[in-house]
Structure 1
Amino acid sequence: MNTYPYVVGTDVAKESLDVCLIRVADKQLCYQKFNNNMQGFQKMKQWLKQYGCELEIDTLFCMEHTGLYTRRLVHYLMSRGVAVWLETPLQIKRSIGLARGKDDKIDSERIAKYAFLHQDKAVLVNLSGLTIEKLKDLQANRNRLKKALHSIKTTVKEMLSVDETSGKTLERINKEAIKGLEKSLEQVEEKMSEFIEQDGELKKKYDLVTSIKGVGKVLAITLLVYTQGFTKMEDGRKLACYCGVAPFEYRSGTSVYGKTGVSKFANKELKRILYLVSMSSIQYNHEFKAYFKRKVEEGKPKMSVLNAIQNKLLHQIVAVVKRGTPYVEKLDKI
């Protein structure tokens, strides 16, 4: 287990940082508040130095993942070689148990104590994590562009169907806007591909995932983002649960016995993409095409079979990433 002589817990807000240092040698706890900007980071560095912490590779910095507010601090710490651990707020809260009282100072102390006690479970941010951060921003932008493009096109199409004159007017007015959105969408996708090409580790995983017939750029990048480059949800079953395609039984004793089904608690974006991929797979992937045909002929509902294909796809994706070798298509039935 990698242990650190200095463990720092930080409660991050938009404009401030509440920092609690644990000096492992004598278990001393020290607290201070700083601004969440470069000037604040420099003052924090000087403050930590008073206690022997040089803010380098011997320091473990733990904070809750609060999106944009942690970004500048994470970049600053990683540029100095500090071990950075972004933990989910729920995980820290559950580890504490029943807690009374709450303020920023107490929260920073709780984060520091959590990091000190669970160092062996730390999942550190790496350089690929910064690339994934960029991909996540671009993916969000891509989704906004697609929604805007779909909204305009749908409005024009509906107007053409009920009032051709007004519809053509809208079509002419929005022609340049549609072209601009399509161009922006193309540039976003090019930039995403560029970031993946520049990151050797992510490029390798991307190539492995897309070696499966039917799995394209959109699903591969979305999975890389949501699994943090397959460092989280490495198990096929867990990933299937997250995507809402894992079947669960519904029964209790002898009186309650429902149909096996999937949970509604799922990542809706991934589930939608998986559905589209499964529809494509039953047409162009020989394995899944044969499987779909066989199961439907056996009397299985088509949606149930498609869900099973999505589940199998995720297990194949996890398997090739773990194995580190491209997928080899089987010629026999599955």
Structure 2
Amino acid sequence: MEKLMQPQVSPFILGVDVSKDSLDVCLTRRGEVPLHHQKFNNNSEGFQRMKAWMKQQGCEAGPDTLCCMEHTGMYTRQLVHYLLARQVHVWLESALQIKRSIGMVRGKDDKVDAQRIARYALLHQQEAQCLSLSGVTLERLKDLQASRSRLIKALKSIKGTIKELLQIDPVSGKTLEQVNRKAIRGLEKSKELVEEKMQQFIAKDGELKRKYDLLTSVKGVGKVLAISLLVYTQGFSKMEDGRKLACYCGVAPFEYRSGTSVMGRTGVSKFANKELKQVLHMAALSSIRNNGEMRSYFERKVGEGKSKMSVLNAVRNKLLHQAVAVIKRGTPYEVRLNII
């Protein structure tokens, strides 16, 4: 469900506030003021009742409907699949984007939230980026990626505690290391199995495998970063521009100045996908160590007086732009003799 497309103007707008157990639904017709609200369970029975209620309002819950909802992870998944099966245009929008478009608000109410989402979709439907049921592999990869992250955190927590205790109290540290040995091996084995399963899913999807091979042809882009980029860009159907991707990763530099009194340093924004930024950061460090092209660039810029962090950020940007370039071009990365 990852391929994005631009919908035509829909006569019916559906705003949905999704929670774990319930859906607050607000339906309106384009050009009309009334907003019809109803609450349903977030399950298959609730979806059927929602469809019947929409039909009473004159809406067939099909291609004539644009449904907008905030992206709340797993809680939206069943509803999204149901709506896509009925050919409803589904628009998953950032909660922050909707909130900031409304302005200052006080309090929180699910019914009011559904109305706000419906009004947002009504005003901005020309900008809607809708999903289609074409990338189930990416959805599975995202689940496996989340599982891998949890396993890594668990391993770091256990190993970190043991390492600290060995320095302070070697006897207790060795005891802790002994009793956790099987747990560590089990977590490491699970991590390996997750990574193998991710590779299997990629191998079964021809288009995804092609893009994965293109990404990994870039020196410095390994398996983890390649999969992360595919997942978070939805197979590069959501972000095909290097600058936008850099902004999403939190590595695009922005100026901070106003008039003659405010002259802050250029820096990156805190609004970013921090998990992807971390993976990209590790890839940049690896690239500087192992890629002669990037190492030469890093050393030259540092020698010119640039700070190491600013040059490292430039390396992160270069990796992203190279990744986008090979996807757009459709051919593997070619090593250049000189890098500016």
Quote the residue 2:285 is aligned against: 279
Quote the residue 1:317 is aligned against: 323
Counterpart code for 1:207 = D
* Cα deviation 1:305-333 (Å, max 9, x = unaligned): 22211121112122222333322221233
Quote the residue 2:189 is aligned against: 183
* Cα deviation 1:57-94 (Å, max 9, x = unaligned): 33322212222322221122223332211112333334
Cα 1:121–1:215 shift into 2, 3 Å = same
- Aligned-pair identity (%): 68
SS at match of 2:131: coil
Tell me: higher relative CO, structure 1 or 2? Use CA pairs within 8 A at least 6 residues apart.
2
1:147 aligns with 2:153: yes
User: Which moves more between the two structures, 177-186 or 91-100?
Assistant: 91-100
Deviation at 1:221, TM superposition (A): 1.8
Cα 1:120–1:139 shift into 2, 3 Å = same
Deviation at 1:214, TM superposition (A): 1.3
Quote the residue 1:267 is aligned against: 273
Which of 71, 74, 88 pairs up with 2:77?
Answer: 71
CA distance in 2, matches of 1:160, 1:81: 59
SS at match of 2:334: coil
CA distance in 1, matches of 2:295, 2:19: 51
Cα 1:37–1:285 shift into 2, 3 Å = same
Deviation at 1:255, TM superposition (A): 4.8
Which of 56, 59, 65 pairs up with 1:59?
Answer: 65
* Cα deviation 1:123-151 (Å, max 9, x = unaligned): 11233554433333322221221121122
Quote the residue 1:296 is aligned against: 302
Deviation at 1:35, TM superposition (A): 1.5
Contact 1:132 1:225 in 2 (8 A): yes
Counterpart code for 1:153 = K
Quote the residue 2:212 is aligned against: 206
CA distance in 1, matches of 2:36, 2:251: 47
SS at match of 1:125: strand
CA distance in 2, matches of 1:294, 1:101: 53
* Cα deviation 1:137-174 (Å, max 9, x = unaligned): 32222122112112222333334444444333322211
Counterpart code for 1:321 = I
User: Which moves more between the two structures, 17-26 or 137-146?
Assistant: 17-26
TM-score by length of 2: 0.85
Deviation at 1:253, TM superposition (A): 3.7
Which of 11, 15, 21 pairs up with 1:5?
Answer: 11
Which of 224, 232, 248 pairs up with 2:230?
Answer: 224
SS at match of 1:230: coil
Quote the residue 2:118 is aligned against: 112
CA distance in 2, matches of 1:35, 1:163: 54
Counterpart code for 1:190 = E
Quote the residue 1:215 is aligned against: 221
**RMSD between superposed Cα atoms in Å:** 2.9
Deviation at 1:213, TM superposition (A): 1.0
Counterpart code for 1:88 = S
Contact 2:63 2:88 in 1 (8 A): yes
Give 1:235-254 correspondences, 5 Å limit: 235-254=241-260
Cα 1:263–1:110 shift into 2, 3 Å = closer
Quote the residue 2:162 is aligned against: 156
CA distance in 2, matches of 1:209, 1:34: 43
CA distance in 2, matches of 1:265, 1:4: 32
CA distance in 2, matches of 1:279, 1:262: 18
Counterpart code for 1:39 = E
Quote the residue 2:312 is aligned against: 306
* Cα deviation 1:150-204 (Å, max 9, x = unaligned): 2222333334444444333322211111110001111111222233334444333
Quote the residue 2:28 is aligned against: 22
SS at match of 2:13: strand
How many residue pairs get aligned? The number is 334
1:134 aligns with 2:136: no
Contact 1:128 1:202 in 2 (8 A): no
SS at match of 2:130: coil
SS at match of 1:234: coil
Cα 1:89–1:262 shift into 2, 3 Å = closer
Contact 1:18 1:108 in 2 (8 A): yes
User: Which moves more between the two structures, 296-305 or 275-284?
Assistant: 296-305
CA distance in 1, matches of 2:191, 2:232: 21
TM-score by length of 1: 0.86
Cα 1:319–1:52 shift into 2, 3 Å = same
Give 1:32-43 correspondences, 5 Å limit: 32-43=38-49
CA distance in 2, matches of 1:326, 1:136: 25
CA distance in 2, matches of 1:96, 1:174: 51
Give 1:82-97 correspondences, 5 Å limit: 82-97=88-103
